[in-house]
Structure 1
Amino acid sequence: MTRSALPFLIAAGLLAATPVLAQNAPLGAAGRWTIDLKASNFNEALTGPAPLTAEVDVTKDDGKSLAWTLIEEDAEGLAAIQFADAPLDGTPTKAVVNTQIVMISVHRDGPHGVTAVTSNKTGRKQSMKVWLADPDTLKVEQDVDGQPGPPDQSLTFKRVK
């Protein structure tokens, strides 16, 4: 996957809970989010050029699953698009990135975070840790290359008011 995997982040991305009561609580991520390019760090060697814009629309955040659409644009127009609706218990489910079907598993990491792992038919995997840093800031740490070490990309999204 290329930069278009960024969406899983997000997508996939988002929040968690440890106590039993919090496990079914919404993550607080519903709504529209736009990327803050200045606060984000891209690894263009792995993912290609950074997008000019990116927006995530989280349409379901009911504490049991998360659904989102991610759209990225570059100078030529649509750079990537992603659709997913994933349970937060780690059950693998299908998602669409551009025209490719991939598998995604999303696990809650606490009251406001998730880890999403995606894989495609070639077996390539990537992971993203997604969490709310505050009610209006969504952070994503993305591991694209599968190698130990710091995240390959760190992205920041701001809630659209």
Structure 2
Amino acid sequence: MSGRAAEAGRCGGRFVLHRFNGAEVYRIASADIWVSVAEGSEGPVTLWFEILADSDGARRCEDTADLGMAPSAEVGIELPDVDVDALVGRELVLPGVRSDDEDSCMSLLYYCEHQPLRDNRITVVSRDGDRFWLRWTAVTEDVNYYDGSKPPTRVEIEGAFLFKRASG
């Protein structure tokens, strides 16, 4: 088994793009959580979620099948502080930007291009050591039509995220 395939097996879960023409379903290659603290800051911290889908064995829609892409996403949620032991059961919400003209560096989906993720809802379902099982939903512009001509794509992620220690 390749290194990426082995990691996907350890992560568990799936990354789904519910598009206008069907669902694209991916296994998870990697999924991480970490806390970022601005150096010398006593202010808020940012809880980051990053995920990368595995391009191997993906079920894609007809219009994107030949591209061979796999999505990735990241969301940073500012909080007054983070108690890792109190995350289970929490729902974290980040509405994201209102329009594509706004800066969206705190919530992005990457496919062929990067685009803002909106209405992010991340529920921390359970924990096993440094692995947290999450349900993450969001919406974004279609991943193959960047002109607004297609309905928004619903993003649905469910899987194990590895908590990495604080960076700053």
- Structure 2 length-normalised TM: 0.35
Query: Relative contact order: is structure 1 or structure 2 higher (C-alpha 8 Å, sep ≥ 6)?
Result: 1
Between Structure 1 and Structure 2, the one with more helix by share is 1
- Structure 1 length-normalised TM: 0.36
